[in-house]
Structure 1
């Protein structure tokens, strides 16, 4: 199972960041809307272990696709990077039905409005995503690359950090807060 080496930051200047990303990648990026539905056992065992199961529907100019994802517990607390297994599924509604039929329950669903750029840093493929979640204040940047295993994770995270510096993102802007936690808090408060 590969590890998603990822860092996330709050963005102070979204327009400036988008300009820097477009200049680096040579284009305006790919706009997509992610509709994420998370599942857990009725007793919350996955969440308690730091794991998650998600069905994501992605809609953009290229059409609609669905992904089934399992993320294990974080293997690096400083970044929150997690082992990840993901596969395309033909029908998001059917995938959700399979999970419910297997005893999992839907715990949270929300939308992310994203613009994605594919970049390269230190010979590694990167995905940089500018994210707005309608229920949350602010804009976020996620930069990720796959790490083959735990031994490769430090080099993968170093490439991500160099990319963030190139984009003008300071370490003080980094956050490990999960969207799921922030959305759940916002809903409980509102």
Structure 2
């Protein structure tokens, strides 16, 4: 509930700023209507694809015969499913935690694809031991290192560690291997 309220108030603040900027703007088009200068496309996956598309279009060396925005879109859907639809049960261990991550259908497939692929990045970035095992309903991830930090971050926080996501997305869009 706290996150929902924080998000709501952040949205209201942004809308108020945007409205006040619009109200004080003297930018007009040829028809006399005011033009808004917008910067956010409204949704995270769309924003990531828009950013990558612009980078590709700005790069004269882009090999358009290899570009695969559909693969990037599928990966971003996987990220969304793992973040929003996966069920996670965390069990503390003396050195860290074990996370049982489960889901059905497309969510399960997203977990099986993403969690093992992310484990080496998490281990390299932190120096922690990370072991992932596939199960009938998803995956189990065991993380040993700084137990307090691991517990505080939880599964989804751990999945964000390592500044490789943007580079990975660009490589994928250029037609490289997904994982």
Instruction: Give TM-score scaled by structure 2 length.
Output: 0.29
Instruction: Give TM-score scaled by structure 1 length.
Output: 0.27
Higher RCO structure, 1 or 2 (CA under 8 Å, sep 6+): 1
Higher helix share: 2
Higher strand share: 1
